[in-house]
Each structure stands twice: as structure tokens, then as C-alpha cells.
Amino acid sequence: MKRKSTYNKRISVEKAIDRYYNNHKSDLLQIFGSERSAKAHLRYDVEDMPQNYFTTKKHATEVFNNYVESITRPVSVRVKHAKKEALINSPNVFSSGRELNNKIVGWETDKYGNQIDLFVDSGKALGRIGQFDDTLIGYYEIKNSDQVLALVSHYNGKTRLESWQFLDRNLL
């Protein structure tokens, strides 16, 4: 009895680009203007691109969808990544990310369909926590919550680190 080979499941980067382009031709032409430009951007600008092969067609589509979304909706991508990082950095505040679905006030859409970032700049010193001086860089509001999605700078005299976390609204 022959074993199934996982080699057959792999898809080359070039075939994945062609396949994605053919399935999303009208959207890509609207964004990039031409087939050549769209395929070049998909080949050279995608961050998570493997060297030679994708493991599955689904993985390839996911990577390309994330790239196109980062171009067309940059604020929503920033909020999505901020939410993921905050859930890791502040694990006991919300039990899951589902609680936050459609509650983070991150952007508005203007009459042309462009996203307007609603990030509130702050610069407020939060004081010394442990060995770090913390400063609130800014935040996004969360509807019906005592928390905000905050970008905090941690500084220990030599190193500055920035991280997303959930902060109590009273600290603002």
C-alpha cells in the first residue's frame, strides 16, 4: 500500500499568484491598475510569502487576502493586530476576543469609503511600574467597557518598548 505524499499538496508561489489573480481579477485591477503590477505586488510586497511553495491553496489565499486587506483597509488591520497583542499582554481582562467584536471604535468611513483613524493621542505619563516608566501613547475606545485598547511605551533608561494592552479608563 502506497503512502500519500504531502508533496502533491504544495502549490508553487507563481501558481498561487496566478490562481489568486484569476479569482480576484476585478478587485486587483481596481487597486493596482494592471495585471503586471498586481502580480508584481503579490510576488514582492507580501510579508508572509514563503520562498518556493505554499503548503495548501487555503494558506496561499489567506496570505494574499491579508496583504490586500492591509492595503485597502489599513486602520482595521492595525486595530485587529492591536487587539490580538492586547489579548496576549492583558490575558485576564477579556475572556476572549469575541467579546470585543464590533466594540473597538477604531475608524470611521468617509463619504469616499476611506477609513479615518480614531486613535486618540495622549502622551500621558502613567508612572513607574516595576523597573519601567510607562507612558500612554494613545488609545482606542471600547464601547460599553471600562477598558480602552491602549498603546503603552515602557522605558527603563536604555530601552523603549511599545506594547498594546487593555487599560482601565480611569487611568486616562
**Mind listing the pLDDT tens digit for each residue in 93-109?**
888 888 888 888 888 88
111 & 164 share domain:
yes
pLDDT at 111 exceeding the cut of 70: yes
Nearest to 93 by CA among 160, 26, 146, 52: 146
Same domain for 52 and 101, yes or no, is no
Average model confidence (pLDDT) across the chain:
86
User: Are 95 and 167 members of one domain?
Assistant: yes
Segments forming the whole domain that contains residue 15? 10-72
Domain assignment present for 3: no
Residue pLDDT, tens place only, 31-69: 999 999 999 999 998 887 888 888 888 999 999 998 999
Number of domains composing the chain: 2
Query: What's the whole-model pTM score?
Result: 0.74
Sign, CA dihedral 14-19-24-25, equals positive
